[in-house]
Structure 1
Amino acid sequence: MDRVQRGRLEHALKAGHAYPVHPDGLRLAGVDPIDQNSHWEYRCRDAKTLLEILDVQCSVHQLPANGELRTFYYRGHRDASWPLLPSVFRSANGRDGSNNNFDAHYHGGDQTYEINQYCNFLEAVNSQGMFIEEEAFELLRHHRQGSHDTESWVFRDLNSKIVPTTFPSSGQLRTLALAQHYGIPTRLLDWTKNPYVALFMATEAIDSVEEMKREINFGIWMIPKVLFDVTSAFKYFFVIDVSKFQNANISAQHGCFSLHIPPLEDVLADRHTFPVSRSNSSFMHLDEYLCDSNGDALHEEFLNRITGKPMLLTLKSNEVGLIRQKLDQLQMNWTTLMPNLDGAAKEALRRQRMDRIIG
């Protein structure tokens, strides 16, 4: 951050242009938050409580943010214990993040795996005659050639695998987001601006009576937009919006993507650092990264007075019945979220599962 931008942020605090939030968390729909250090957890009593918190009339949505109503980014997890960890770290060892190790990623081949999968996706997209950003196509060209011709563009990891230091560049982010959306493991995380999309994603696969009886909590993450904005001002963080014409599914799902892991080039040039935990050499979960000021007093003041923490709403899976009634009322299903034949097929299979449960 340059001095001018820092000065503007300091002035905003002193002049009261930045609106404060309750620093100790808010009681919502009769539920007191549990401080989990990097986020507030709200253990909802029932489906009605969860729906009340997500509703725009709930007090948390009425908090002002730069003169406007506070808005959030949402993400649904079928299991509330799953961390906010990009899929490339979950590719080898499941959803629990046990593969989340910095040395393994940069010296054990994970980054090579991420780029190879991305380039395979680009190759397939290109073969269909679809648009690819210029910088993404340049990466694909180097990948085809083995990258031996441009040593300034790459480095060799401990296994002598060649990896581009510039990945991901700003001109590769939208196609990287498309790859993430279609299931390619990347360093991005999916988000939606619609809470009911997140609710559908968290609950649509809870499809057996036995699973409901186990009473595993599902979770809905709510992160204030102002927290994303402040993080991007102080350190490496991007929200990536894919143009609506590029993908109807992402548009229907009000989707966007976050990125908090910088390219190696920025780290080597001391422009940014990798978000690595000081205690165990693993990549920070996104909620940890968002709440880490890295010793910057101004950043800490914004976190304490302005942004608030991420919020995680949790609910037992056996409460999913009322949730589904609400989603049906809103016509929230695969047909509307994937307006194509793939969506129609997924919805047909989902309804078959639901009929089996009801029957």
Structure 2
Amino acid sequence: MPVVVVESPAKAKTINKYLGSDYTVLASYGHVRDLPPKNGSVDPEEGFSMKWEIASDSKKHVKAIADALKEDGELILATDPDREGEAISWHLEEALRNRKAIKADTPVSRVVFNAITKSAVTEAMRNPRQVDQDLVEAYLARRALDYLVGFNLSPVLWRKLPGAKSAGRVQSVCLRLIVEREMEVESFRAQEYWSVKALLTTPRGQDFEARLTVLGGKKLDKFDIPDATAAELAVQAVTSRDLTVKSVEAKPASRNPSPPFMTSTLQQEASRKFGFGARQAMQVAQRLYEAGHITYMRTDGIDMAPEAVTAARDAIRDRYGADYVPADPRMYKNKAKN
């Protein structure tokens, strides 16, 4: 009976329901190894060699997986389909080999799925592969930089700037962007300008607002009415004569539906509609993903699972009728290739 390993117990429960009793599904509870916070964890002089240790709260989870492999002779790594998920699979395989839980003849494979649905999981099981070493190398480079920048620069900050938190590969760059933007805000000099608007009524009694755009035969720019005196003169020029409608132009307008969420647009919309911060939005999305309600949320891709498209079209047809379902589903593609 193969042992399938995922990150979280909630995800394990959902996948176990799809796979049935022929599989043992266990959770790693996230990353199982990390660089110890001390000198020498990354050695640039030795080809950036890295020393890993299993976190104290992860030892029992690694032991549970190792114990399961004593009875079940196959390991399937089913962590998330991104760089971090690939890294977790790599760490697990390395940690289990170090414990001799994986023997020379133990089959080890990697499966990925972007949605936790029965069809997506079973399809992934039919198409196993090995751990993607390119993704692992990308993770290792990022983790080494995190350590080298943060571990070496943070103590300098603490000495030079008492009360400073820490430095980091990403956070220090972001901090600079914020500071530069704040300096632009502080150096901004406000310039006064006025706009003239009129509330008008149609012969049918409908009110509408019109804005003055041309004065004295000249098209007005943003700062062409610089003060209250100029605005009063403009108002007098408008009120001293009758206003007429010279033409009415009507144009058909259409609005395309927004593409599926990627990580950034999901966070933006959650903030706009619900006031969620990025962390809260991702926590909610994680729970929805693990329950099989949405596809994987840490992505820049906007592709949709075929079964999700079919289910959405069926739901629209059942609720609103066939007239509201286009003949062909709308397909979205990323503008830039990763």
- What TM-score, normalized to structure 1? 0.19
Q: TM (normalized to structure 2)?
A: 0.19
Higher RCO (CA < 8 A, seq sep 6+): 1
Instruction: Name the larger-Rg structure.
Output: 2
